[in-house]
Amino acid sequence: MRIVIAEDNALLREGIILLLTGSGHEVVADAATGPEILPALLEHRPDVAVLDVRLPPTFRDEGLRAALAARAELPGLPILVLSQYVEETYAAELLARGAQGIGYLLKDRVGRVEQFLEALDRVAAGGTALDPEVVSQLLTRKASARPLQSLTARERQVLEHMAQGKANSTIAAELVVTERAVSKHIGSIFAKLGLEPDDGTVHRRVLAVLAYLEGRGEDRGHR
Amino acid sequence: MTSTPSPLTVAVRRSWDASRYLLIGIPVALTACVGVFLVLAVLLSAVVVIGLPALPEAAKVLRRFAESERRRAAARLGVPFRPTPYLPLDAEELSDRVRRALTDPATLRDVFRLPFQALAGNALGYLTMLLWPVGLLVDGAALTVVHLLDRRTSDEYGTPVPVRRGWVLRWHPVLADLSASWTRDVLTSPVSAVLDERIAQLTESRAGAVEAHGAELRRIERDLHDGAQARIVALSMRIGLAKQLLDRDPAAARVRLDEAQDGAEAALAELRHVVRGIHPPVLTDRGLGGAVRALAAGVAVPAEVVLHGIDDGRRLPAAIEAAAYFVVAEALTNISKHSGATAATVRIARGPGTLRVRIGDDGRGGADERAGSGLVGIRRRVAALDGTTRISSPAGGPTDIEVELPCGS
């Protein structure tokens, strides 16, 4: 895949480039500041962009802003946002215009090379990758909700993986169960939470689950 | 000509205003009388320790009483009094509260005035009553006669004739003004005392700030030492072990490396936690308004955020932003954990020199500061910045937390 990355820390930038080229990808451009991102994306039209949130010149959230601007300029451009910390609000902003081709992960996850590459592939293919920490922030908030408490321990695990944007086959492999069992669990979760039955489109069901967890309906947008 | 009220009417009206002040002095004096005995009772019970917790509470009641007397006297004299520089009595430790209640000069002044108030208030009140029949008879007769003899308001040269004031009723205003001035002189602090006491307050809050700052540094040091640092040491050891095992037993080396990776992730999580405790990154990214909105969006209870004067162009000092954020975070956590509320409101307003943060809910109230809720932490963090905290949470609700932080201009 052709990838554009934005990361201001040279050590991390080199590390990520090494990791990506080592697994057969091509880094076509690397940006070290926020304003460089959009021109680079427009020029190279990569298969996926990997953006750090905090970048020069202001060291605030320009990576995130650049991601939102890029999505407006180039609809459907897959973007994976990496950050030193995750904030549920940022996830909501990223997902406001659909979950297709959006990833939001802690930088820590890069260390799990295989899982990171799998998430990157998933995002590039139009899927969703949400950090487990975002999902657990959402789940903690809704912890006392009755329907969530009615889930079995296994269903809860499946829900967490599902909200991260994983496909049934991936969930099955990680939990060491059959895909059939996973889809049975998912059916049961959707029934217990009172959601529309799963139609098998991963990014759509991520949104449905997130909307449920956020308790604000599907169209959340900016507040 | 006839539109000018008669001298008697004027005298009676003046006397009546003054008498109201003096007559209210009677129930006030009786209250002071009760107060004297209450103070004695509280002091006695405090000597045998059981009454200690009541001491600061009694001081608060006394302050309110004295404050209302000051307001009454100020209204009588028509001039505002200087604010009384009481030492705050909301310290967390009982011993601190008792010490301040006993040493605060302004409170001591209130106490010493009580017996005098009890005596003088009564005496003046009865004197007022006595003066009325006498005054009405004497002044009534005299002023009526004078009035009938001489109705002119100005003499033959056009100079206004001063309104005649009677001979007995004129004493009511004099007594009332004397009593009010006495209240001012005894109950309010002289300017130098106001300054001294403000200095005492500042010294106290600065010592608190230094202490809180030190405690904060020690906490961060301990968190890093016991947490991330220890994990990284263990991590390095695991990598060392893995290197040793690499040739002999690759499978075991792999296990060590897996553990090392787990350890690295745990260390990162730990560091994130420490960083969040020092200065939440979202504050840097989004400013106080954005950060608080993100907080409110993250709690189960629907929380409305109302901001006044909080804009990105005019950022507050980092310590104030962090404290305000901390207060809101703690309060919202409490609300979603304990209050059973269905709605919450967060109001943040920047006024001249202060930042006011107010969090309210419609829950069941009864938040207990001693029960280890985050309230103690809120007080401590706010006090460290010379701010004030007011918590109201009656059983049955609602809970209302109001914090004021000084923030320069």
What is the phi-psi region of residue B309: left when phi exceeds 0, alpha when psi lies from -120 to 50, beta otherwise? left
CA dist B160 → A45, A58, A134, B14, B351 (Å):
97, 76, 86, 20, 51
For residue A40, is pLDDT > 80? yes
CB contact under 8 A, A108 and B284: no
pLDDT of B279-310, one tens digit each?
899 998 888 999 999 899 888 888 999 999 88
What are the residues of chain A with a beta carbon less than 8 Å away from any beta carbon of chain B? 53-54, 59-61, 84-85, 87-89, 92, 106, 108, 111-112, 137, 141-142, 144-145, 214-215, 223
Angle (nearest 5°) at CA A62 between A56 and A63: 100
Position A217 scores a pLDDT of: 37
Domain final position from A103, A130, A157? A130
Q: Smallest CA–CA separation between A71 and chain B, in Å?
A: 20
Spatial separation of the C-alpha atoms in residues B90 and B70, rounded to whole Å:
23
CB contact under 8 A, A141 and B272: no
Report yes or no on A18 lying in a domain. Answer: yes
- Count CB neighbours of A39 within 10 A: 11
Here the CATH number for the domain that contains residue A188 is 1.10.10.10
Report yes or no on A25 lying in a domain. Answer: yes
Same domain, A105 and A207: no
3-state secondary structure of B231: helix
DSSP per position, A126-186: T-EEE-HHHHHHHHHHTTT-HHHHTS-HHHHHHHHHHHTT--HHHHHHHHTS-HHHHHHHH
Residue of B235, B258, B285 to mutate for A, most A C-beta atoms under 10 A:
B285
Report yes or no on A48 lying in a domain. Answer: yes
Report yes or no on A70 lying in a domain. Answer: yes
ipTM: 0.80
| Segment A186-201 mean pLDDT | 81
Angle (nearest 5°) at CA B231 between A158 and A6: 65
Same domain, A114 and A163: no
Residues 6+ apart with CB under 8 A from B144: B6, B8
Spatial separation of the C-alpha atoms in residues B346 and B369, rounded to whole Å:
20
Report yes or no on A219 lying in a domain. Answer: no
Same domain, A37 and A51: yes
Domain final position from A98, A130, A162? A130
Same domain, A207 and A100: no
CB contact under 8 A, A141 and B261: no
Is the full-model pTM beyond 0.80?
no
Spatial separation of the C-alpha atoms in residues B373 and B376, rounded to whole Å:
7
Here the CATH number for the domain that contains residue A115 is 3.40.50.2300
**Chain A contact for B273, CB < 8 A?**
no
Same domain, A61 and A124: yes
CB contact under 8 A, A141 and B294: no
Domain final position from A130, A162, A190? A130
Same domain, A78 and A157: no
Report yes or no on A177 lying in a domain. Answer: yes
All residues of chain A having their beta carbon less than 8 Å from the beta carbon of residue B281 are 54, 84-85, 87
Chain B residue with CA closest to A137: the answer is B298
Contact of B1 with B142, CB cutoff 8 Å: no
Give how far the C-alpha of residue B210 lies from the chain's centroid of Cα atoms, to the nearest Å: 21
Structural domain range at position A45: 2-130
CB contact under 8 A, A60 and B264: no
Chain B residue with CA closest to A54: the answer is B285
* Mean per-residue pLDDT pooled into runs of 10, chain B (409 residues): 64 83 87 87 81 83 87 84 76 79 82 85 86 81 74 65 68 85 74 75 78 82 88 91 92 92 91 88 90 88 90 82 92 87 92 91 84 79 85 88 85
Report yes or no on A21 lying in a domain. Answer: yes
Q: How many A×B Cβ pairs under 8 Å?
A: 50
Nearest residue to B267 via CA among B294, B305, B227, B239: B227
* Torsion sign over Cα B156, B158, B159, B165: positive
Spatial separation of the C-alpha atoms in residues B5 and B334, rounded to whole Å:
65
3-state secondary structure of B84: coil
Same domain, A152 and A56: no
The least confident of A64-68, A94-98, A206-210, B398-402 is A206-210
CB contact under 8 A, A111 and B265: yes
CB contact under 8 A, A111 and B294: no
Same domain, A26 and A77: yes
Same domain, A37 and A143: no
Contact of B183 with B109, CB cutoff 8 Å: no
Report yes or no on A39 lying in a domain. Answer: yes
* Torsion sign over Cα A10, A11, A12, A13: positive
Of chain A, the percentage scoring pLDDT greater than 70 comes to 94
Contact of B70 with B185, CB cutoff 8 Å: no
Q: How much of chain B is helix, strand and coil, in % rounded to 5?
A: 65, 10, 25
Nearest residue to A113 via CA among A45, A24, A7: A24
* Number of domains within chain A: 2
Same domain, A12 and A45: yes
Chain A residue with CA closest to B300: the answer is A141
Same domain, A117 and A96: yes
| Segment A195-217 mean pLDDT | 73
Same domain, A7 and A99: yes
